[in-house]
Protein backbone atom coordinates (compact mmCIF):
# COMPACT_ATOMS: atom_id res chain seq x y z
CA UNK A 1 0.00 0.00 0.00
CA UNK A 2 2.92 2.33 0.54
CA UNK A 3 3.34 2.89 -3.17
CA UNK A 4 -0.32 3.64 -3.77
CA UNK A 5 -0.97 6.65 -5.96
CA UNK A 6 -2.84 9.70 -4.96
CA UNK A 7 -5.56 10.79 -7.37
CA UNK A 8 -7.76 13.68 -8.28
CA UNK A 9 -11.19 12.39 -9.23
CA UNK A 10 -12.82 14.81 -11.64
CA UNK A 11 -16.43 15.25 -12.51
CA UNK A 12 -16.69 15.95 -16.24
CA UNK A 13 -19.75 18.04 -17.09
CA UNK A 14 -19.69 21.50 -15.58
CA UNK A 15 -16.32 20.87 -13.93
CA UNK A 16 -13.81 19.83 -16.55
CA UNK A 17 -15.86 20.70 -19.63
CA UNK A 18 -18.66 23.17 -20.21
CA UNK A 19 -21.98 21.55 -19.43
CA UNK A 20 -23.97 20.70 -22.54
CA UNK A 21 -26.67 18.33 -21.28
CA UNK A 22 -26.41 14.80 -22.71
CA UNK A 23 -23.87 15.92 -25.29
CA UNK A 24 -21.67 13.30 -26.94
CA UNK A 25 -20.73 15.33 -30.02
CA UNK A 26 -16.95 15.76 -29.71
CA UNK A 27 -17.11 19.07 -31.59
CA UNK A 28 -19.21 20.63 -28.86
CA UNK A 29 -16.83 19.69 -26.07
CA UNK A 30 -14.87 22.60 -24.62
CA UNK A 31 -12.74 22.74 -21.51
CA UNK A 32 -13.90 25.05 -18.76
CA UNK A 33 -11.85 28.17 -18.05
CA UNK A 34 -8.19 27.28 -17.46
CA UNK A 35 -9.02 23.62 -16.95
CA UNK A 36 -5.92 22.57 -18.90
CA UNK A 37 -3.66 24.69 -16.68
CA UNK A 38 -5.50 23.40 -13.60
CA UNK A 39 -4.78 19.78 -14.48
CA UNK A 40 -1.19 20.69 -15.33
CA UNK A 41 -0.74 21.91 -11.76
CA UNK A 42 -2.33 18.79 -10.30
CA UNK A 43 -0.38 16.45 -12.56
CA UNK A 44 2.89 18.15 -11.59
CA UNK A 45 2.00 17.56 -7.93
CA UNK A 46 2.05 13.86 -8.75
CA UNK A 47 -1.66 13.13 -8.73
CA UNK A 48 -3.24 10.62 -11.07
CA UNK A 49 -6.12 12.31 -12.93
CA UNK A 50 -9.28 10.23 -13.16
CA UNK A 51 -12.60 11.29 -14.67
CA UNK A 52 -15.71 9.91 -12.98
CA UNK A 53 -18.89 10.87 -14.83
CA UNK A 54 -22.58 9.97 -14.64
CA UNK A 55 -23.80 9.26 -18.18
CA UNK A 56 -27.48 8.53 -17.69
CA UNK A 57 -28.03 9.35 -21.36
CA UNK A 58 -27.13 5.72 -22.03
CA UNK A 59 -29.93 4.44 -19.78
CA UNK A 60 -32.27 7.05 -21.22
CA UNK A 61 -31.59 5.80 -24.74
CA UNK A 62 -30.11 9.10 -25.91
CA UNK A 63 -26.76 7.59 -26.94
CA UNK A 64 -24.86 4.34 -26.61
CA UNK A 65 -21.83 3.46 -24.56
CA UNK A 66 -19.85 3.42 -27.82
CA UNK A 67 -20.47 7.17 -28.18
CA UNK A 68 -18.42 7.79 -25.06
CA UNK A 69 -15.20 6.61 -26.73
CA UNK A 70 -14.95 9.69 -28.98
CA UNK A 71 -15.88 11.87 -25.99
CA UNK A 72 -12.95 10.48 -24.03
CA UNK A 73 -10.72 10.88 -27.10
CA UNK A 74 -11.69 14.53 -27.61
CA UNK A 75 -11.08 15.25 -23.94
CA UNK A 76 -7.67 13.60 -24.17
CA UNK A 77 -6.81 15.63 -27.28
CA UNK A 78 -7.81 18.91 -25.64
CA UNK A 79 -5.77 18.13 -22.52
CA UNK A 80 -2.76 16.93 -24.53
CA UNK A 81 -2.32 20.53 -25.67
CA UNK A 82 -1.39 21.26 -22.07
CA UNK A 83 0.82 18.21 -21.66
CA UNK A 84 -1.86 16.63 -19.50
CA UNK A 85 -2.73 12.94 -19.65
CA UNK A 86 -5.76 11.35 -18.01
CA UNK A 87 -5.04 8.20 -16.04
CA UNK A 88 -8.61 6.94 -16.14
CA UNK A 89 -12.06 7.63 -17.55
CA UNK A 90 -14.92 5.98 -15.69
CA UNK A 91 -18.60 6.46 -16.44
CA UNK A 92 -21.88 5.21 -15.03
CA UNK A 93 -24.35 4.39 -17.83
CA UNK A 94 -27.21 3.57 -15.46
CA UNK A 95 -30.33 5.32 -14.27
CA UNK A 96 -33.18 3.66 -12.38
CA UNK A 97 -35.72 5.53 -14.50
CA UNK A 98 -34.00 4.78 -17.79
CA UNK A 99 -35.70 3.14 -20.76
CA UNK A 100 -32.95 0.81 -21.95
CA UNK A 101 -33.53 -2.41 -20.05
CA UNK A 102 -30.11 -3.45 -18.84
CA UNK A 103 -29.11 0.09 -17.88
CA UNK A 104 -32.40 1.02 -16.21
CA UNK A 105 -31.36 -0.26 -12.83
CA UNK A 106 -30.24 1.08 -9.49
CA UNK A 107 -26.47 0.74 -9.22
CA UNK A 108 -23.58 1.49 -6.94
CA UNK A 109 -21.63 3.55 -9.47
CA UNK A 110 -23.99 6.45 -10.13
CA UNK A 111 -22.84 9.41 -8.04
CA UNK A 112 -23.63 10.14 -5.18
CA UNK A 113 -22.64 6.49 -4.74
CA UNK A 114 -18.87 6.00 -4.71
CA UNK A 115 -18.62 2.92 -6.98
CA UNK A 116 -16.59 4.54 -9.76
CA UNK A 117 -14.04 5.87 -7.28
CA UNK A 118 -13.78 2.53 -5.50
CA UNK A 119 -13.34 0.66 -8.77
CA UNK A 120 -10.70 3.09 -10.01
CA UNK A 121 -8.89 2.86 -6.69
CA UNK A 122 -8.79 -0.91 -6.96
CA UNK A 123 -7.81 -1.00 -10.64
CA UNK A 124 -5.26 1.82 -10.55
CA UNK A 125 -3.92 1.33 -7.01
CA UNK A 126 -5.13 4.63 -5.56
CA UNK A 127 -4.96 5.58 -1.90
CA UNK A 128 -8.41 7.14 -1.46
CA UNK A 129 -7.60 8.71 1.90
CA UNK A 130 -4.92 10.86 0.23
CA UNK A 131 -7.03 11.68 -2.82
CA UNK A 132 -9.50 14.36 -3.81
CA UNK A 133 -12.86 14.54 -5.58
CA UNK A 134 -13.72 17.74 -7.44
CA UNK A 135 -17.20 18.37 -8.83
CA UNK A 136 -19.84 21.00 -9.36
CA UNK A 137 -22.77 19.44 -7.50
CA UNK A 138 -23.27 17.91 -4.07
CA UNK A 139 -23.63 14.41 -5.55
CA UNK A 140 -19.94 14.69 -6.43
CA UNK A 141 -19.09 15.75 -2.91
CA UNK A 142 -21.08 12.87 -1.43
CA UNK A 143 -19.44 10.32 -3.72
CA UNK A 144 -16.04 11.67 -2.74
CA UNK A 145 -16.79 11.59 0.97
CA UNK A 146 -18.28 8.09 0.77
CA UNK A 147 -15.03 6.97 -0.85
CA UNK A 148 -13.01 8.61 1.91
CA UNK A 149 -11.54 11.44 -0.18
CA UNK A 150 -11.15 15.14 0.45
CA UNK A 151 -13.68 17.09 -1.57
CA UNK A 152 -13.92 20.39 -3.41
CA UNK A 153 -17.21 21.79 -4.66
CA UNK A 154 -16.92 23.97 -7.75
CA UNK A 155 -19.52 26.49 -6.70
CA UNK A 156 -20.48 27.77 -10.15
CA UNK A 157 -24.26 27.73 -9.89
CA UNK A 158 -24.81 24.22 -11.21
CA UNK A 159 -25.98 22.88 -7.86
CA UNK A 160 -29.55 24.06 -7.44
CA UNK A 161 -31.08 21.86 -4.75
CA UNK A 162 -28.57 22.27 -1.91
CA UNK A 163 -29.75 19.21 0.01
CA UNK A 164 -27.00 19.38 2.58
CA UNK A 165 -26.00 16.75 5.11
CA UNK A 166 -22.68 15.91 6.71
CA UNK A 167 -21.92 13.55 3.78
CA UNK A 168 -22.72 16.31 1.30
CA UNK A 169 -20.75 19.10 2.93
CA UNK A 170 -17.67 19.94 0.87
CA UNK A 171 -14.32 20.20 2.63
CA UNK A 172 -13.55 23.19 0.40
CA UNK A 173 -15.26 25.31 -2.25
CA UNK A 174 -13.83 27.15 -5.24
CA UNK A 175 -15.41 29.13 -8.08
CA UNK A 176 -13.69 27.11 -10.82
CA UNK A 177 -11.35 24.19 -11.43
CA UNK A 178 -8.27 26.38 -11.76
CA UNK A 179 -8.85 27.97 -8.36
CA UNK A 180 -9.49 24.52 -6.91
CA UNK A 181 -6.14 23.31 -8.29
CA UNK A 182 -4.20 26.24 -6.88
CA UNK A 183 -5.94 25.72 -3.54
CA UNK A 184 -5.01 22.03 -3.45
CA UNK A 185 -1.44 22.99 -4.36
CA UNK A 186 -1.35 25.42 -1.42
CA UNK A 187 -2.78 22.83 0.96
CA UNK A 188 -0.20 20.32 -0.25
CA UNK A 189 2.62 22.77 0.43
CA UNK A 190 1.31 23.39 3.96
CA UNK A 191 1.05 19.65 4.50
CA UNK A 192 4.67 19.14 3.45
CA UNK A 193 5.82 22.06 5.61
CA UNK A 194 3.80 20.73 8.56
CA UNK A 195 5.32 17.29 8.10
CA UNK A 196 8.83 18.72 8.16
CA UNK A 197 8.10 20.73 11.29
CA UNK A 198 6.70 17.68 13.00
CA UNK A 199 9.90 15.68 12.50
CA UNK A 200 12.18 18.31 14.04
MG1 LIG B 1 -21.15 18.06 -13.11
ZN1 LIG C 1 -24.03 2.92 -12.47
Tell whether 2 is covered by a domain.
no
User: Of 119, 116, 121, 110, which Cα lies nearest the Cα of 7?
Assistant: 121
Tell whether 43 is covered by a domain.
yes
Q: How far is the CA of 108 from the centre of ligand 2 (A)?
A: 6
Write down the pTM of the prediction. Answer: 0.94
Tell whether 142 is covered by a domain.
no
pLDDT in tens, 19-57: 999 999 999 999 999 999 999 999 999 999 999 999 999
CATH number at residue 88: 3.40.50.1000
pLDDT in tens, 176-191: 999 999 999 999 999 8
Annotated active-site residue 125? The verdict is no
- Evaluate whether 176 touches 32 at the Cβ level (below 8 Å): yes
Annotated active-site residue 77? The verdict is no
- How far is C-alpha 183 from the chain's CA centre? 16
**Domain total in the chain:** 1
Range of the domain at 26: 7-135+147-199
Q: How far is the CA of 127 from the centre of ligand 1 (A)?
A: 23
From the list 13, 19, 77, 140, the catalytic residue is 13
Ligand closest to the CA atom of residue 103? 2
Tell whether 141 is covered by a domain.
no
Angle at 137 between CA 135 and CA 141, to 5 degrees: 65
Q: How far is the CA of 155 from the centre of ligand 1 (A)?
A: 11
Q: Give dist(CA 49, CA 46) in Å, integer.
A: 9
- How far is C-alpha 67 from the chain's CA centre? 20
Amino acid sequence: MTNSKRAIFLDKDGTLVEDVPYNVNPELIELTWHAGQALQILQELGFALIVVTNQAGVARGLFTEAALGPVNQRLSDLLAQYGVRLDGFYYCPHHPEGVVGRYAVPCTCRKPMPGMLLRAASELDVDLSRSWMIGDILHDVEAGRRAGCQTVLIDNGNETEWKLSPQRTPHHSAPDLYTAATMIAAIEREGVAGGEAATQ
